[in-house]
Amino acid sequence: MSQENHSLANFYETIGTGKINEWKYNEAEIFLKKALTLTDTTQNFAKPKTLILLKLASSIELQGRLEEALRYYENILEHMLNDRALDLIDKAEIYLTIGQYHYYAGNSEKAKKFYQQALNLQKKDKLEIVFMKAIHLLKEHKDIEATPDYISSIIRSDNTGAKKEGEIARWHDKTNKLFIYIPDECPATQSICDELSETYKAAFQAWGAVLNNRFNYKYVDTDKQYDTRIYWREKSPKAIVYPFKHSPMWLVDTSGYGGKIGQNKTAFAGKDGHSYIMNDIEMFFHDSENRPYPLNVLKSAILHEVGHAMGIKGHSPNPTDIMYEGLPFGFKRMRISSRDAETLRKIYEHKPTYANDPQTHVSYYYHQYKKKYRDIETMAY
């Protein structure tokens, strides 16, 4: 490789890495492919070709092209055997990355195979962080697979953080129709707004199917009569606020990038404190630094937030469940797992501590509450 090409390849690789950090995965893909055309594993290039391939596969994966990303990961395994620039730590990291691809795709057995391969590279006299990570992931698999649900994790605390054992917040047993308001316009092109609106509808249907389709959904065109309202937000706040200071409330959000991606607000009022006054979902298009969230991230967050709206007022400890708290890089949780489904079913087997009045839309209580309490305050979360 000429010195000029060597410098240019380094330049493209550096730019591509920066684009990944900025979440501009399509641009990262372009620069990393340019870097690859200028590299050769038989020459002393500063950045091993296999590691550039790994970044390229990741940029494709984060655009949602999962099958194509998998082909790149398989290609990486072939390159790794002949890439003399790689050390054992590099190889272990590659095994872990590919293992996590399969982990988040729901293929636990393949994931464990790659984690074990990473661990097999460990030298007896040296315990690097990468090997400690492999040990942790293998243990995590064993612990998670031993439990069919996470009901104990989602019996939530109140807004003071105090644990309230046994509390369940869900839709009333007599409720068989839910009115949902999805605004037509959002901070994106109309085609994306329409696509995300359909994602919401598919998410409600998917969660409803878990409960044997006990709910009929009616999508209304007014914000005056609804049970769940969708809000489109341009930018994620740096702090989350509680709109009701003196009412029991659950607020759960999805994060993992530079801010909140989505959040569900559920609050209760009434003389007995057991009626919904709010069940809203907010979705943010940009993080707190105004960087746009990728479309596949928004879609996964929608499925997650609808799970909250249906009654899962908490999070799973398992990164392969859609209700896991946060979206780790490399995630592919675009489906409801068996653990998610079993947890929601168990919630509806329990008598609710808080539920809606099945005769009145939630929005009615919300407006009545606002009239009664004019000094509603916000609380940072």
Alpha-carbon gap, residue 135 to 28, rounded angstroms: 31
Rounded CA-CA distance 300/127 in Å is 36
The C-alpha atoms of residue 342 and residue 293 are separated, in whole angstroms, by 30
Q: Where in the chain is the domain with CATH 3.40.390.10?
A: 151-380
pLDDT level of residue 376 (50, 70, 90 thresholds): very low
Give the pLDDT band (50/70/90) at residue 314: confident
DSSP letter (8 states) at residue 162: -
CA distance linking residue 89 with residue 91, whole number of Å: 5
Q: How far apart are CA 207 and CA 223, in angstroms?
A: 23
Q: Which of the 8 DSSP states describes residue 221?
A: S
Q: What is the pLDDT of residue 255?
A: 47
What homologous superfamily does CATH list for 3-145?
Tetratricopeptide repeat domain (1.25.40.10)
252-294: pLDDT as tens digits: 455 445 567 888 888 777 555 567 778 889 998 988 778 788 8
- Helices 338-349, 190-210: axis angle to 10 degrees equals 60
Average pLDDT value over all residues in the chain: 78
294-308: average pLDDT: 88
Q: Look at strands 275-286 and 379-380 and give their pairing.
A: unpaired
Residue 284: closest CA among 321, 236, 241, 338: 236
| Residue 136 vs residue 263, higher pLDDT | 263
Q: Which CATH fold topology does 151-380 show?
A: Collagenase (Catalytic Domain) (3.40.390)
Task: Give me the mean pLDDT over the 92-112 stretch.
Answer: 79
2 Rama sector, left if φ>0, alpha if ψ -120 to 50, beta otherwise: beta
* Highest mean pLDDT (candidates 59-73, 107-121, 339-353): 339-353
pLDDT above 90 coverage of the chain, percent: 23
State both tokens at 340. 């998610």
**Cβ(65)–Cβ(102) below 8 Å:** no
Q: Starting from the edge strand earliest in sequence, which strands make up the sheet with 275-286, in order?
A: 216-220, 177-181, 228-235, 275-286, 259-269, 249-257
Instruction: Report, in angstroms and rounded to the nearest whole number, the Rg of the chain calculated over CA atoms.
Output: 24
3-class secondary structure, 190: helix
